[in-house]
Structure 1
Amino acid sequence: MAAVFGLLGKSLSHSFSKDYFEKKFSELHLNDHVYKNFEIDSIEHFKALRANETNLKGLNVTIPYKKQIIPYLDNLSVEAREIGAVNCIQFKNDKLTGHNTDHYGFRQSIKPFLEPQHERALVLGTGGSSKAVAYALKNIGVEVYFVTSSEKKGNNYFFYSELNQIILNAFKLIVNTTPLGMCNGLPGAPQIPFEFLSSQHLCYDLIYNPAETLFLEKSKKQGASTMNGLSMLQQQAEKSWEIWNS
């Protein structure tokens, strides 16, 4: 029976994960391994999915289920518990353990590009991915503030409407963790005052499909350095593979 791995989410046409792991299995001559996309309309369908797929060995988890999946798991890694989000599930000895490899992937991808002026970061969005990004940045000494369109959950939060030249001058690293601009997803870009960006800024978008979102396009026009999330995807995928084989 084939060992089954996969990606759990709601709409997965944008994802490169399946292609990435299928190529990996082929290169490693793992003909008895398959990687599937599991699209479910509600996290409540996860139990049925698990019952139907009797040889699941590992899952990646994407929006909108990185937080919602937690009650269905038996254990959480230290990082996943602290972050409060899971993007990798290990199936072992009939137990499901939730891990977070997003923080690792993000840290590995951005660290070579950080410069002294990137000591403070604005993280756009407050979902599961934002928590992993904040965890990674704090662990490498970067001060983090979140930008929200809903409610402030602490002193380190701004509303989008509060962003101005003074704030953007003080925060030279900006990370988009929202799905705005994703292929086949929500159009547009986060509403920040792009005119106050400069060549001192590094703007990072977790989205990798399309390769250049409107957020990155507008940032680049102001002279900012830009990065998409493809390297993060690759790094977190390799960490997931390591966990599944541990």
Structure 2
Amino acid sequence: MRKYGLIGKKLGHSFSKRYFTEKFKNESIHDAAYDLYELESINELPGLLAKEPELVGLNVTIPYKEAVIPFLDELDEAAARIGAVNTIRISNGKTKGFNTDYIGFSATLSEFYTGAGKALVLGTGGAAKAVCVALQDLGILYTSVSRQGGNNALTYEQIDQGVLQKYDLIINTTPLGMFPDQDTVPLLPFQSITPQHYIYDLVYNPETTLLMQKGLDKGAKVLSGLPMLYRQAKEAWAIWQE
């Protein structure tokens, strides 16, 4: 039996288990299973790998995309550049980290966004790192937004009408708005959102987040994290089969 799974802290919202379980069924892959592994701390990873010798592939989610790196034998080039891992391949007892967020985000953004090329990236975690490298590679200028600001980042309080006139793309990489906290939303001056704005919310559950709804109310174009998730799940599968 080839085992795959997802590691993270709270995994009640997992898309991956549903996606891969359906894939195995639809494609008559009978010797594979996908499970959820909730880890209280990333220090539990070596114990998990020892206990589950049939594991050949893992996805990594919040909050371990960066913390997992010291536990891996090797990183692929994109993951090393980004400084975050969301996919691990295990073969011959060796672990190698990859970042399919980068591929999933780049591909879906290119299909969605045709604006002026200036983005605000909300959040500074592992997903944000992949997003920022992708934006760089796509030639889109960006500024990060975090609660603390600093390091060329803005705070949410600094985002006003003037800032929103300069940036037509808003990307949410925070978990704000994700089930079961779907009534939460990043602190933005929504009265200054216009039909010229594009809002890409990496949250995928619910399919229309409060952030997206507030954008739609102002005529903005919006995209949920679901297409990115499908894309990066396909990439993860390809990596595990190599």
TM-score normalized by structure 2? 0.97
Q: Whole-Å Cα distance in 2 between the matches of residues 221 and 187 of structure 1?
A: 16
Q: Whole-Å Cα distance in 1 between the matches of residues 71 and 233 of structure 2?
A: 22
Q: Whole-Å Cα distance in 1 between the matches of residues 199 and 112 of structure 2?
A: 11
Aligned to 2:215, which of 205, 219, 226? Answer: 219
One-letter code aligned to 2:194: S
Aligned to 1:132, which of 127, 130, 133? Answer: 130
Unmatched tracts of structure 1, length 5 or more: none
In the TM superposition, residue 186 of structure 1 has moved relative to its aligned partner by: 7.3
Aligned to 1:108: 107
Secondary structure in 1 matching 2:17:
helix
In the TM superposition, residue 151 of structure 1 has moved relative to its aligned partner by: 3.9
Matches within 5 A, 1:31-180: 31-117=30-116, 119-153=117-151, 155=152, 157-180=153-176
Q: Whole-Å Cα distance in 2 between the matches of residues 216 and 64 of structure 1?
A: 24
In the TM superposition, residue 185 of structure 1 has moved relative to its aligned partner by: 4.5
Secondary structure in 2 matching 1:80:
helix
Shift >2 Å, 4+ stretches: 184-187
In the TM superposition, residue 93 of structure 1 has moved relative to its aligned partner by: 2.0
User: Are residues 1:16 and 2:24 paired?
Assistant: no
Identity %: 44
Unmatched tracts of structure 2, length 5 or more: none
In the TM superposition, residue 134 of structure 1 has moved relative to its aligned partner by: 1.0
Preserved CA contact (<8 Å) 2:156 2:187: yes
One-letter code aligned to 1:61: V
Cα deviation, 1:197-242, whole Å, max 9, x if unaligned, reads: 1000010110110111111111111111111000000000011011
Preserved CA contact (<8 Å) 1:197 1:224: yes
RMSD over aligned CA atoms reads 1.1
Aligned to 1:29: 28
Preserved CA contact (<8 Å) 2:89 2:96: yes
One-letter code aligned to 1:108: A
Secondary structure in 2 matching 1:158:
coil
Secondary structure in 1 matching 2:235:
helix
TM-score normalized by structure 1? 0.96
